[in-house]
Amino acid sequence: MGRAIAVQLANDGFDVGVNDIPSKLTLLETLVKEIEGLNRKSIAVPGDVTSEGQVKAMVEEAVAKLGSLDVMVANAGIYHASSLLTSPLEEFEQTLAVNTRGPLLCYRYAAKQMIAQGRGGRIIGAASVAAKRPYPGSIFYNISKFAVRGLTQTAAVELGEHNITVNAYAPGFTLTPMLEDADVDNSKKYGLAAGEFIKRGIDVTPLKRVGQVQDIANMVSFLASDKASYITGQTSSGTSHREKTRILFADFVEARLPRLPLKCTSASHSLSGPRSQLRSVRDIDAHNAKHVFTNAGQANVNLP
């Protein structure tokens, strides 16, 4: 998913800095070359989004090499099937570290940089439809994604006066390695045939199909664009597992958003985290450079 987001933002005109854990450096370098092939600047910034020092350093490197930070996409995420009664607390701590602490740190250091730049920006996080209705057998994941939803709404209120919008996307069943892992975990836990977990999810989805990563990349593209300049505090789903159609901008949080000049015609991005989160946006104004930080697996666009 993080890769699709990074490529989409590059196609939107952003320069992109991508980040994942150091063991994924080869994948990040391949993604950098792909983005450069789209005539955008890109950098790889390996690091762990659960580390405050490394997130701070990722943002600083993105700004140093791409010029500024205007969009942060905190896409990091992991999943384990889990039970209130039997799952070890070590799994809870690991899930919260990546899925909740990671976005918190990315939001924090992106916001600090955007405030220092004085022209607003976009912060976008990865929630899940599980942030609205919990998946059975996934208590730790559900908690972590409910927390991202609360983080996003609260940050929107706090950062609105700086013309920074904060939103999250909440995918339902989307075809990623994480969904495949969830299918394996739940098949073992409940004795299901391989693929049955995914099939049951599709059966209760309004569009009767699994989502594609490009569907999510399209939503992130919109939230990073000038068209979303008066949307904040949202956790937005398209078609959702176990939910009927929803109003896209439900649960709106009214944060103060002074109408400062904020052009996002062209952009550069930085990606970081268990995917990548650095992106930079370059304005039509020669001196108004803008940058995005996105998570891919773990974060920046983090590459799950």
Residue-wise pLDDT tens digits, 40-87: 999 999 999 999 999 999 999 999 999 999 999 999 899 888 999 999
Residue 183's pLDDT is 80
d(CA 296, CA 100): 15
Q: Give the DSSP H/E element, type plus range, for residue 302.
A: strand 298-302
Q: What percent of the chain has pLDDT over 90?
A: 58
CATH class of 2-302: alpha beta
Q: Select the more confidently predicted residue: 304 or 154.
A: 154
Q: Select the more confidently predicted residue: 96 or 199.
A: 96
Residue 300's pLDDT is 41
d(CA 180, CA 172): 13
119 contacts: CB under 8 Å, gap ≥ 6: 70, 163, 260, 261, 262, 288, 290
Give the pair of three-digit tokens for residue 281.
């946006």
> Tens digits of per-residue pLDDT, 157-200?
999 999 999 999 998 777 777 777 778 877 777 787 888 877 77
Please give the positions annotated as active site: 141, 145
**pLDDT band for position 242 (50/70/90)?**
very low
Give the pair of three-digit tokens for residue 43.
């950098």
Q: Give the DSSP H/E element, type plus range, for residue 42.
A: strand 42-44
- Three-state SS at 61: helix
Angle at 102 between CA 97 and CA 108, to 5 degrees: 135
- Three-state SS at 225: coil
Give the pair of three-digit tokens for residue 291.
């940058």
Nearest C-alpha neighbor of 49 from the set 208, 218, 216, 273: 273
Average pLDDT over residues 259-278: 36
d(CA 93, CA 274): 16
**pLDDT band for position 238 (50/70/90)?**
low
d(CA 43, CA 291): 12
pLDDT at 233 > cutoff 50? yes
Residue 266's pLDDT is 31
- Whole-number average pLDDT of the chain: 81
Residue 196's pLDDT is 82
Residue 106's alpha-carbon distances to 71, 255, 301, in angstroms, are 11, 20, 11
Residue ranges covered by each domain of the chain: 2-302
Whole-angstrom Cα Rg for the chain: 18
Q: What percent of the chain has pLDDT over 70?
A: 78
pLDDT at 38 > cutoff 90? yes
